[in-house]
Chains A and B, each alone.
Chain A
């Protein structure tokens, strides 16, 4: 089902950094067993406050385990400031890429690291404390969604789901996710599709002109293709008199054409109250 790179498979089957640290300087857990993904990250710093040792415990799929292991390989030896700049892209890149639907595993790695650093520095962990929960199925905040949308330049709800899991459960939060996307990209939500705007009160002359235009550009070419034709005879208010010509004149179902093609088109493009009558000499 998933096309995993050799690196993902390697870090899944042979992770280098599973375990615990006796008295860690940093210790944070993100996710939970209900979600299907959880990562506990433990870090020991050296005298110079660099990451000397790091271990992980993960409940999750191959991507989750591989992402956790990759994260630790990346942060070993870094200062906390350097580590704080690690993104989920770095994790995915280290692994040679992750399937799109598994990108949220790399985001979880980044989240655990940031939470651990925030806790160590006794700062609030923005992604959890700020913002409100948008996706109740997976406990995802609008803060996290917005961060990932910006950093990853996401444009669809589906992409947001792939990177954060938000919207992947009951789908009830899709409108809110769409609102976040619109806010980030500065686009207003698309207005509901409206029928073509009809001209407001038209004068008779305007109406007759428009009817002629529609007959010439839309209706006659259509009939001519089948060897038929129609001619405008008169317009009385919203009643249009036409005469069929060519094949239409002797076609037994020309009244279908009258209503279904001629009248319908005029109602659509000129005025919904138009009625059409065939006043031509019936030859059929």
Chain B
């Protein structure tokens, strides 16, 4: 597909050319197994460790604290299951209603009674209309039976950033493990785990311009860890399976790039997001912003357009090669609209018409211009077709 305007970077990102290049030797001549005794294999191990060090640098961690996994979902599963397995006397989980399904559905599953399943209790904290967590409610939810509290660093749909430092400190004070799904935050906002009370942190390669199929889990030194994937002695026996060498090298390179691009992400990319948001809110009546405009990722904008439905907006944008996503029921894969927007109390009427734009360093001003040119007429067109909002006048084109 030519002339794609890709504004769905929270869904996945393009593999950076530098990352692809860094991977290539490991897809061609350097195919050895790092655990092998011969030089041919063993030499590859050094590259794995180099990638580990690069990722550690991005996070402010020590390389020994980095565990490579297959994806963010595996990291989330590993963190939470490890907390439960290594603390068999504790049966309480604390999390939020706006987590990614990798955390939310896992916790729901663990709390469901079943034959042969240990019985776990789940506290799912709500958020306010801006998607913010009540820190007091979080503190009140922690008890001596809590095995782990898991709160995402930044929400994938709205970009809302949570007060991770405060939440982590509350857990630290009570001796409770704190995990954060930082899949959307890594590479977009600076993270320094050396100075934060975080025990476990998940990240995903394909949100960082690395390929799909690679993730990592940060495990603070001294944290007891019970492996999820049991097999050989790879990753210091914490995660069995021959190392995904090309993908690990890719992630290391992507981590270096993320450090270099962090400034641009928070200036030029932020400006692109701000401009598209301002433009759309000005030209489209009955549009509302979803999320906390003060504390959020620099690249994400989630806007609801009333009286029209998300999938139809996306398919019309698709005609212009514009890629975005929506929280509407038709696009979630279930028949309910986004659980995040519902948890925020966004009325169904607005949730169905929500559109998320998420930028990267590869996006340009010209792309923003194009969206500002074609989206308002799309909304107008769909409002002409819709039976709702008829009495409201449609604002004329700027």
Contacts and interface: CB of A to CB of B under 8 A. Distances in A.
Contact of B335 (A38, A58, A65, A138): A138
A9 B299 CA distance: 31
Contact of A60 (B312, B331, B334, B384): B312
A15 interface: yes
Interface string B289-315: 000000000000000000111111001
Interface stretch (B168-176, B177-185, B385-393): B385-393
Contacts of B336: 137, 168-169
A265 interface: no
A40 interface: yes
Contacts of A64: 309, 312
Contacts of B331: 1
B387 A61 contact: no
Contacts of A13: 315-316, 319
A33 interface: yes
Given A38-B388, A168-B336, A65 B352 contact: no
Contacts of B387: 29, 38-40, 57-59
Contacts of B311: 61-62
Interface string B321-365: 000000011110111110000000000110010000000000000
Contacts of A12: 312, 315
Contacts of B328: 36, 61
B330 A57 contact: no
Contact of B312 (A39, A62, A137): A62
B384 A33 contact: no
Contacts of B319: 13
Contact of A33 (B330, B333, B348): B348
Contacts of B310: 61
B348 A58 contact: no
Interface band, chain B: 20 to 34
A60 B311 CA distance: 8
A137 B335 CA distance: 10
Nearest to A170: B336
Interface in A59-74: 59-65
Interface string A26-69: 00010001111011100000000000000001111111110000
B335 A59 contact: no
Contacts of B337: 36
Interface string A133-168: 000011000000000000000000000010001001
A168 B386 CA distance: 24
Contacts of A29: 387
Interface in B110-166: none
Contact of B329 (A36, A57, A62, A65): A36
Contacts of B349: 33-34
Q: Which of B316, B329, B336, B348 has the most A CB atoms < 10 Å from its CB? A: B329
A173 interface: no
A118 interface: no
Contacts of B309: 36, 59-61, 64
Q: Which of B329, B331, B335, B337 has the most A CB atoms < 10 Å from its CB? A: B335
Contacts of A40: 387
Contacts of A165: 335
Q: Which of A9, A15, A65, A138 has the most B CB atoms < 10 Å from its CB? A: A65
Nearest to B319: A13
Contacts of B348: 33-36
A18 interface: yes
A33 B352 contact: yes
Contacts of B386: 57-59
Given A38-B388, A58-B387, A59-B386, A168 B315 contact: no
Nearest to B315: A62
A38 B349 CA distance: 12
A18 B381 CA distance: 11
Given A12-B312, A13-B319, A36-B309, A18 B385 contact: yes
Nearest to A171: B334
A107 to B, nearest CB: 13
A40 B390 CA distance: 13
A62 B385 CA distance: 12
A58 B334 contact: no
B333 to A, nearest CB: 8
Contacts of A35: 348
A168 B334 contact: yes
B246 to A, nearest CB: 29
A33 B307 contact: yes
Nearest to B351: A36
Nearest to B349: A33
Interface string A63-87: 1110000000000000000000000
Contacts of A138: 335
Contacts of A18: 384-385
A167 B353 CA distance: 22
Nearest to A69: B385
Given A34-B348, A165-B335, A168-B335, A61 B388 contact: no
A217 B386 CA distance: 71
Contacts of B335: 36, 137-138, 161, 165, 168-169
Contacts of B388: 33, 38, 59
A18 B308 CA distance: 15
A59 B388 CA distance: 7
Contacts of A168: 334-336
A58 B385 contact: yes
Nearest to B310: A61
Contacts of B329: 36
9 contacts: A1-B331, A18-B384, A18-B385, A57-B386, A57-B387, A58-B386, A61-B310, A61-B312, A169-B335
Interface of B: 307-312, 315-316, 319, 328-331, 333-337, 348-349, 352, 384-388
State the 5 A-B residue pairs at the shortest beta-carbon distance, nearest first.
A168-B335, A57-B387, A61-B311, A61-B330, A36-B329
Given A1-B331, A36-B348, A61-B328, 8 more contacts: A29-B387, A33-B307, A33-B348, A58-B385, A58-B386, A61-B330, A137-B336, A165-B335
